[in-house]
Amino acid sequence: MIRTLVTAHINSLDLHELTIQINDRSLGYLTAQKQQNYVASTNRRVQMISGIRSDRLDQESIVQSRDMLRKWAAVFRELQIYGLDVFPAILKRETLHADFIFLICDEIVIALVSRYLGLYLHRNGRLYRQQPAVIDAAVIPNSFMPAADYYAFVPAEGDILLALDPNFVDLFEPQGLEEILSDPRQITVQMSELNNLASAYGYSSDHTWVGFKVTRIERSLHTNKTRLQKIPMSKEYLSRVIPISGSNHLVLEGRRATTSDNEDKKVHVLSDSYFPRFSGSHRLGSSRKEQKPSKIKAQESDPNYERRPSSVYAQIEHETNISFLDRLKILEFKRCKRLWNSFIYRLTHLFPSSRPLSLLALISIILVVLVMLILLFSSLKGDKVNQQNEDVPKVSQPLIDADDNEVIATDFEIKLTVKAQSMQIMAAPGSTELVATTTRGDTVWQLTKEDKDGWVMVRLADGRTGYVPLTVLLPGE
């Protein structure tokens, strides 16, 4: 028995096509709840971590991926009964493929992962990069996951194994990286700290990775000797390791030599982003390779298959000056059309089990968005009108003196804030009769222009009127 702390994280892009099966649990695309993180401590005879990638725009690919996940679940149950020695017999009996796989037992750990990922082992405070091992074709045939590198090593308690992007490891100094991974906390906490550090250097903080930490190894005293073909554990079939303080590169001599190497190099294309991928854009296995030529052949034999105009091809082949209209003719929008169709399909299938409920939810979302846009437009329009009204001076009606019934002419009405520390408002220009005293921050309204002595008429908030010098009302202007 071996007890491990298994962790996995799927980034937001891989979440739409990658499914990771950890023992009897699934994480990712083909699950009811598409969670991105998994942390669990498990005690099993054989631990298994496998990954299946699906094309979400191809229903046939999704069905095949679900069927393959069920096969791997049956393999996991069989491994718990008979042990890892039965795995070679399973490969001869079943047609299996995956984008990556880890098989962990108390005697050996084997892994087949993408060639664009690094496999790192942290042991006794040191971090090593594992090198591809030589595989025994009689035990694990070369036809099984031919585009993946094979790794094998003997586990020890305290080991941490990580499969992640080598570019991510290159961002850190080896000593600092080893110190962070030596922390006894969970791997997810350690990776979160590393992600925060990496984001400062422009590396995306969201990338897919898988890892596990060996916490206990319990070897049974009475093991049943099987007659099945065992996975070899001699030195020549185990992975070598190189400290990352010396190098973070692969030694390619140990890689599997298959006839599909050249084809694999053509198909696998590194992404523009920093998101690591466990495999390329195609599914590994013979079934995937056989379907692609058949589809191309069907399209070519179809008389309605749309092709570019032959005149455009001739012009491209024989002329150097190509007009702008001809360049427009050869543009293809199939990818944009597929993305648009996928977007519409998701909008109309918000609830996969109920189409009417999905349409009702879509209509509700559209109505909510329209109401929010109307409210936003009305708010912006109202703010603009209020701002214009505040900028334009108001022309008020002439005031009437209550004592003399005399009409006092006003020129305009401008709202002002008192800037002086204390401002006295007099009953008339040059008068000593005090009407009121205002302080800094009070609001008054200027009603007349400046007279020959520099006085202006103002109104208080309570309606009283009086006169103040313009130099006091607007100091420094």
Q: What is the DSSP string of 2-38?
A: EEEEEEEE--TTGGGTEEEEETTEEEETTSSS--SEE
Residues 423 and 274 grouped into a single domain: no
Average pLDDT of the residues of the chain: 76
CA-nearest of 193, 211, 274 to 11 is 274
Is 376 within the bounds of a domain? no
Residues 404 and 282 grouped into a single domain: no
Q: Which of 239, 269, 286 is the last residue of a domain?
A: 286
Task: Please report, rounded to a whole number, the percentage of residues in the chain having pLDDT higher than 90.
Answer: 21
CA-nearest of 447, 411, 22, 445 to 212 is 22
**CA-to-CA separations, 249 to 130, 166, 246, in angstroms, rounded:** 9, 8, 9
Question: What's the pLDDT at 47?
Answer: 92
Count of domains forming the chain: 2
CA 477 – CA 472 distance, rounded (Å):
10
* Averaged pLDDT, 166-189: 80
Residues 279 and 418 grouped into a single domain: no
Question: What's the pLDDT at 74?
Answer: 93
Is 45 within the bounds of a domain? yes
Residues 108 and 249 grouped into a single domain: yes
CA 15 – CA 36 distance, rounded (Å):
7
Residues 218 and 106: beta-carbon distance below 8 Å: yes
Q: Which of 263, 286, 309 is the last residue of a domain?
A: 286
Residues 46 and 68: beta-carbon distance below 8 Å: no
Is 313 within the bounds of a domain? no
- Which class for 400: exposed (0-12), middle (13-18), buried (19 or more C-beta within 10 A)? exposed
Is 172 within the bounds of a domain? yes
Among 38-42, 277-281, 353-357, the range of highest mean pLDDT: 38-42
| Domain membership of residue 113 as a residue range | 2-286
CA 258 to chain centre: 34
Is 379 within the bounds of a domain? no
Question: What's the pLDDT at 267?
Answer: 33
pLDDT in tens, 19-29: 999 988 888 88
Residues 249 and 120 grouped into a single domain: yes
pLDDT band, very low/low/confident/very high, at 166 (cuts 50, 70, 90):
confident
Residues 88 and 141: beta-carbon distance below 8 Å: no
CA 357 – CA 106 distance, rounded (Å):
50
CA-nearest of 128, 119, 127, 117 to 151 is 119
Is 33 within the bounds of a domain? yes
Residues 277 and 422 grouped into a single domain: no
In CATH, what number is assigned to the domain containing residue 282?
3.60.40
In CATH, what number is assigned to the domain containing residue 425?
2.30.30.40
Is 375 within the bounds of a domain? no
CA 307 to chain centre: 37
Question: What's the pLDDT at 17?
Answer: 87
Q: Determine phi and psi for 423, rounding to 5 degrees.
A: -130, 125
Is 377 within the bounds of a domain? no
* Averaged pLDDT, 7-15: 85
466 has pLDDT over 80:
yes
Q: Which of 286, 315, 346 is the last residue of a domain?
A: 286
Contact partners, residue 433, CB within 8 Å, separation at least 6 = 426, 427
CA 415 – CA 238 distance, rounded (Å):
86
Q: Look at 310 and 211; give whichever has higher pLDDT.
A: 211
pTM for this predicted structure: 0.54
